[in-house]
Amino acid sequence: MWILGDVYNIYNLTSQSPQFNASLYMIKEDRNSSHYHDIHMITN
């Protein structure tokens, strides 16, 4: 099983070009393995 931590931001929500950024940090319960994901989205 993985433990998940995250941080996200949404910018310019009311504009025609909103942006979404997220960072997800994952670590195994036994703390022997971890990794992260960065997600960056700009929509039009």
pLDDT of residue 44: 63
φ/ψ (deg, to 5) at 42: -120, 125
Please indicate, yes or no, whether the overall pTM of this predicted structure exceeds 0.75. no
pLDDT digits (tens, 9 = 90+) for 1-44: 999 999 999 998 888 888 999 999 999 999 999 999 999 987 66
Q: How far apart are CA 3 and CA 6, in angstroms?
A: 10
> Rounded distance, CA 41 to CA 44, Å?
10
Residue extents of the structural domains in the chain: 2-42
Question: Tell me, what's the pLDDT at 16?
Answer: 86
